[in-house]
Structure 1
């Protein structure tokens, strides 16, 4: 069975296709309701997405939902570790700007994944 996120992405793609064909929001929602039944997104959401899709070029619209998965631990862990080994006094904000991820993700990688802690403004292994 598909997860709710997968179902939402599928419904947005159907919404995108029907909006590109020039269907009205009410028509799109009615057609989606016959296919998805109770699992169909609301009329308000359909109208919102039809407005977005009609404004943009349909070939360039991104359909994924939720946060981007750019701050994966495995991809950035080595970069963060190299920065800390090069300068133990480096700040989390400097790491976040250099790597391009949020400061909270840097904190998670440094403390939980790499096992460092702050002692006298220096990162040291636990």
Structure 2
């Protein structure tokens, strides 16, 4: 994956340079296709980057993708962990769906907190122990 990302950055550099020279997007893509062959980015992507590079100062252009915020990981919030732990200690037979509704998070997040963060496991009922051992 690192090599394809590196190749993409190299191709963006070529597009930036040729766009600064005044080449059209179609001409840039044709020239890149002869050099990179099947690994060349699409014509549509070349046009997008030419628009970006022609609209900005070439000295201030960032070739790498900017960091994205993404979704916050609310399952790791300490308050959620404490609420889930308190509910389980109060009633060990409480269901994950009930915890999720009470705390206000997804059932999958409750499962993550219970199993991974808190380390709780299902235990077998007293009478159902495997007697074949």
TM-score (structure 2 length as normaliser): 0.53
**Structure 2 CA distance, aligned partners of 1:36 and 1:117?**
51
Q: Which structure dedicates a bigger proportion of its chain to helix?
A: 2
Alignment of 1:118 onto 2:93: no
Q: 1:34 to 1:45 in 2, by over 3 A?
A: same
Q: Which structure dedicates a bigger proportion of its chain to strand?
A: 1
Partner of 1:89: none
RMSD of Structure 2 on Structure 1 (CA)? 2.9
Moved over 6 A (4+): none
**Structure 2 CA distance, aligned partners of 1:31 and 1:118?**
60
1:6-50 superposed Cα distances (whole Å, 9 cap, x missing partner) = 111111111111101111111111111111100000111111111
Give the length in aligned residue pairs: 86
Partner of 1:5: 5
**Structure 1 CA distance, aligned partners of 2:4 and 2:73?**
26
Q: 1:60 to 1:107 in 2, by over 3 A?
A: farther
Asked which structure has the greater CA Rg, the reply is 2
**Structure 2 CA distance, aligned partners of 1:103 and 1:28?**
36
Partner of 2:26: 26
Unaligned runs of 5+ in 1: 70-100
Unaligned runs of 5+ in 2: 87-102, 104-116, 119-133
